[in-house]
Structure 1
Amino acid sequence: MSTVSQTALQSSYPPILPNSFNANQPQTIRLYPLSNYTFGTKETQPEEDPSVIARLNRLQEHYAQHGMRRTPGDYLRPEDEEVSGFKARLNERLAPIGSQFSSDRHEGEWQIADTLAQWWRPNFETFMYPYIPAHCTRPKECKKLYMIQLPRSKVLSVPKNMKLLAVPLFELYDNTQRYGPQLSAIPHLLSRYNFEFVDETGNVVAVTPGGGPMAGADFALTTQILAGGENGVKQEGDGVKHEGGGVKQEGDGDVKVEDEA
């Protein structure tokens, strides 16, 4: 198994492929390079709650008027439909202002994919559970984590008083002390997916285990010999021959060292 895609593999020793281990896999998620996205800023969006106590008080007022609050990352208005309301909140936070980025290249739609997790707040307090406790018949809030598939390219504008951070999974993993139980669980939730990483030209350059190279596929192999010599590298047949430097690789990938004396 290799995490390098077939088209990007640069080795004379391809991995030994085990029997298929890809049964009942979910969809494969394609990830695009950071250079496909444009980042800007827009006007400040002041926080609605100056403190945790103020946020819990507002939650209590919301519950008294509208019942359980629905929170897909950012809370929905009572009249909003779930998916369209969430897209509206994403645009409110991250969409650019005005029509300067109205070309098709930047108008990719948010793709709201699977629900990864649901957290429940049984009372007007900060702690939430990834299940509804047995004693709770009227939870005060349900917070959902969604998989959001970014389009191939997009313009993202961040309010001046906020930051858009890309946090690597290895930093989130098992780090409840810093990120809390909800965010630190994200690596577990994402482990069910396979990912394809593409370059700027759209070629798949890496995959996560689970997708893997297909058995029997033809590998386009190139090898660069970094031994000494001045006559360069010449490719012959299915191997690479380096003339003048004492290293010769031919046939099935065996490497021979030749004495020029």
Structure 2
Amino acid sequence: MVGAGSAVVNTYPLASYTFGTKEPKMEKDTSVADRLARMKVNYMKEGMRTSVEAILLVQEHNHPHILLLQIGNTFCKLPGGRLKPGENEIEGLKRKLTSKLGANSPALVPDWQIGECVAILWRPNFETTMYPYCPPHITKPKECKKLFLVHLSEREYFAVPKNLKASCCAIV
């Protein structure tokens, strides 16, 4: 088996994973405007927001796909979220993955193998747009988001909150 930090990424068929359900995880905000307003309030208290997201790769029809969490019929996102102030990125991502996809039974929670950071995105203002660089004229970005590749075992159990749906998207 290839571990974290390797140039090789093993992917396994989606059918080799088991998906169960757990109690709903409600979103804190009902709209994008509410989320940005909350982000502004938190920025005034804590400074720049640091968030992490996981790229979970699986195979479907012999082609790589990314596992996503679908909210409603139109919005999908990578599992992850905001780190606590001073929290380590790897430990924070493991905490978020367990919160979003881990079973209630500790025996069924995956041993998350966090791999490479594959992207860093910056939010210069309290807007939805994020960039793969911090614009040079921005001295106080509002958010830094890091995307990490997560190496999955051949078999895992994922518990998806009842208000979300596990979905996958082909990598083109």
Q: TM-score range by the shorter chain?
A: 0.7 to 0.9
- 1:147 is displaced (CA, Å) by 0.7
Find the counterpart in structure 2 of residue 154 from structure 1.
156
Letter in 1 for 2:164: M
- Preserved CA contact (<8 Å) 2:103 2:109: no
Find the counterpart in structure 2 of residue 113 from structure 1.
115
Percent identity for Structure 1 against Structure 2: 42
Find the counterpart in structure 2 of residue 163 from structure 1.
165
Query: d(CA) in 1 for partners of 2:10 and 2:130?
Result: 31
Find the counterpart in structure 2 of residue 48 from structure 1.
28
Across the two proteins, how many residue pairs are aligned to each other?
140
Letter in 2 for 1:112: I
Superposed CA offset, 1:42-95 (max 9, x none): 111111011111101111111111111011121112242211011001000000
- Between 1 and 2, higher relative CO (CA 8 Å, sep ≥ 6) is seen in 2
Report which of the two structures shows the higher radius of gyration computed on alpha carbons.
1
Find the counterpart in structure 1 of residue 44 from structure 2.
64
Letter in 1 for 2:117: T
**TM-score of the superposition, structure 1-length normalised?**
0.51
Query: d(CA) in 2 for partners of 1:54 and 1:130?
Result: 24
Q: 2:104 aligns with which of 97, 102, 106?
A: 97
Superposed CA offset, 1:118-158 (max 9, x none): 11011111111110101101100011111111122111010
Query: d(CA) in 2 for partners of 1:108 and 1:159?
Result: 16
Structure 1: stretches of 5+ with no match in the other structure: 1-25, 171-261
Moved over 6 A (4+): none
The within-5 A match list for 1:9-48 is 27-48=7-28
Find the counterpart in structure 2 of residue 75 from structure 1.
82
- Preserved CA contact (<8 Å) 2:48 2:143: yes
Superposed CA offset, 1:194-242 (max 9, x none): xxxxxxxxxxxxxxxxxxxxxxxxxxxxxxxxxxxxxxxxxxxxxxxxx
Query: d(CA) in 1 for partners of 2:109 and 2:23?
Result: 21
**TM-score of the superposition, structure 2-length normalised?**
0.76
Find the counterpart in structure 1 of residue 68 from structure 2.
none
Matched, 1:86 2:74: no
Query: d(CA) in 1 for partners of 2:33 and 2:84?
Result: 20
Query: d(CA) in 2 for partners of 1:81 and 1:115?
Result: 13
After superposition, the CA RMSD in angstroms is: 1.5
- Preserved CA contact (<8 Å) 1:118 1:145: yes
- Structure showing the higher strand proportion among its residues: 2
